[in-house]
Chain A
C-alpha cells in the first residue's frame, strides 16, 4: 500500500511538471526566437537554443519595424497605450469605488435596479455597441483619439469596477457606518475617513483587473482609434500581419514580448491581487 502510494505521488509530480513545461514552452520559444537572427530561425528549429544572441530584433520591433505603411516600430503604440491606460483605469476605478459605496451602504429606492442594470451590462457582447459608439464619437469629435478610447473603456469598465467594490463593501459592518453617522459624519466624510482607508486590497484588485483588461484590449483599440492613437495590441497585430519578403518571426516575438511585458510585470509583482481579481470576476454573475 505504502509502495503503491509512493508511485502514485511520483506520477502526480510527473504530470504536474509536464504541465509546467507545457505552459512555459511558448514563453521559451518566444524569448529564444526573439534573440535569434532570421538566418538562424531558418536553419534551426523551435526549440533550438540561439547560437549568437542578438538584440537586433528587439531594436527593430521597438523602433523601425513596419506596421502597415509606416515603419516606426512599436514604441509609438506602446506610449499610446500608456497614455490611454492610466486615465481609463483611474477614472473607472474611482467611479466604481463611489458607486459600490452607494450601492452597499446608501441604498435607496431603485438602487437595486441600477445594480441589476449594471450587472447585465457586464455580459452584453460589445459588438452591439460598436456602430452607435462609432457614430456618436464622430458627432462628439473624439473619434479616433485617445480621449475617445478612454471614454469607451470607462463606460464599459464601470460595471465591473462597481461590482468589485460593492461586493467588498457589503462585507463592511453597517454598525461602523452608523457609528460614524452618529458622530455627525456625512456621506463624503464616511467615505474618505472610514471606508476608503479599509479599501486598499480591493483598490489593488480593481486597479490590476482594469489595467490588464484595458492594456490587453484589442477590439476597442481597433474600432475607436486611428493612426496616432492606436494601442500596442493593434500595433502588434499590424506588425505581425505586414507582409515582408522574409517573415521576421524574431521581430514578431520581440514585439509580442514588448506588448506583454507590462501585464506580466503586474502579474509577477502583484499576482496575489491578480488572482483575487480573477476570482472576483468569476463570482460576478
Chain B
C-alpha cells in the first residue's frame, strides 16, 4: 500500500480553477470595499455638498470638520460611551462568568437568559428602553407608585445626560455576550492548576485574581476588540433611543456622518467624518491584525 501525503499532480484546470472561483469575491471586495474607501477619500477632498462635485479643495472639509462643534460633541460622546460601555460590560460579564463557573444548577437556562439580548436588533433594544426610561410614564412613574415621590429620571430629555441612556441600554444588550466569551475561556483552563493552588492553601478569590484571570488575557483582548468595534459602529441604538438628541447632544460619529451625508446635504463633511472613523479604527486594527496573521501563519 502506498502511503503518501504528497499532493497529487495538479492539472491545468485544477491549478487555475481555485483562482477563477475566488476571483468574484476578490473583485467584489476590491471594488466595492477598497475602491469605495478610495472614492470616499477622494470625496472628502472635494467641494461636494448636496451632490458630488469633483472639484479639488484640499483639506477644506477637514478644516470645517475640526471647527465644527457638533463633530466634537460626537467624538466626546463616543469616548464617554466607549469607556463606560466597554468598562462596565467587561466587569459585569467577567463577574457573571466567574459566578456561573461555580458548578451552578440550571446553568444552561441562566446562560440562555443572559445572552438573549444579543439576538435582538439594537432598534428593538432602543425602542424598548426608550419606553422604560421615558420621563413621565416609565421608570419615574414606577418609583413614584412605589412611594419614592421625589424621584426624577429625565436623562432621555436632558442634554447633559442623554448619552448615558445609550450606555445603559448597550450594557444590557452586550454584557451577556462578554459573559459567554469569558465562560468559554474559563472552561478551557486546566482544573489541575486550580486544585494544586487549593492544596497550597490559596483562597478561591485569590486563585481567580492571581492565576485564572491572568491566563484569560487573550480572551480579554479579543473581547475588548469586539466591544470597541461595536462602540465605534454604534448607530442604530442611538437613533432608536435618543435620535441623537435632544438637539445633537447624544450624537456619535456614525450618526453625525449620516446626518451630514444624507439629510443635511454636506457630502464633503460626511465623507471627511467617515475617513476620520476609518483612520481611528485602522490605528487599532492594523497592528492587531498584523500580529494575529503572523501568529496564525506560524
Contact = CB atoms under 8 A, between A and B. Distances in A.
Interface of A: 9, 12-13, 15-16, 19-20, 22-24, 26-27, 29-30, 33, 41-42, 45-48, 95, 98-99, 102-103, 106, 108, 111-112, 114, 116-121, 123-133, 135-136, 154-156, 158-159, 162, 174-175, 178, 181-182, 186-188, 212, 215-219, 222-223, 233, 236-237, 240-241, 249, 252-253, 255-257, 259-260, 263-264, 266-267, 271, 274-275, 278-279, 281-283, 285
A102 B21 contact: yes
B122 A128 contact: no
State which size class the interface on B falls in.
35 or more
A178 B6 contact: yes
A65 B39 CA distance: 40
Contact of B289 (A116, A215, A274): A116
Contact of A285 (B29, B33, B258, B289): B289
16 contacts: A9-B102, A19-B114, A29-B131, A45-B142, A47-B142, A98-B22, A102-B21, A116-B289, A131-B261, A178-B4, A186-B17, A215-B121, A219-B235, A222-B258, A259-B124, A282-B222
A29 B73 CA distance: 33
B176 to A, nearest CB: 6
Given A219-B236, A263-B121, A13 B104 contact: yes
What does DSSP make chain B's interface, helix, strand, loop or mixed?
helix
Interface string B171-189: 0100011001100100000
A256 B131 CA distance: 11
Interface in B221-259: 222-223, 225-226, 229, 232-233, 235-236, 239-240, 243, 253-254, 257-258
Nearest to A106: B18
B297 interface: yes
B236 A181 contact: no
Contacts of A236: 123-124, 127
B139 interface: yes
Given A178-B5, A187-B17, A278-B180, A125 B127 contact: no
B13 interface: yes
B86 interface: no
Contact of B277 (A30, A128, A131, A135): A128
A116 B293 contact: yes
Contacts of A182: 4, 8
B7 interface: yes
CB-CB nearest 7 A-B residue pairs: A216-B121, A106-B18, A267-B119, A132-B36, A127-B274, A181-B8, A218-B236
B119 A212 contact: yes
A127 B293 contact: no
B145 A45 contact: yes
Contacts of B55: none
B132 A123 contact: no
A114 B22 contact: yes
A204 to B, nearest CB: 15
Contact of A16 (B24, B36, B110, B275): B110
Contacts of B132: 26, 29, 46
B174 to A, nearest CB: 11
Given A23-B117, A219-B235, A267-B116, A118 B278 contact: no
Contacts of B40: 128-129, 131-132
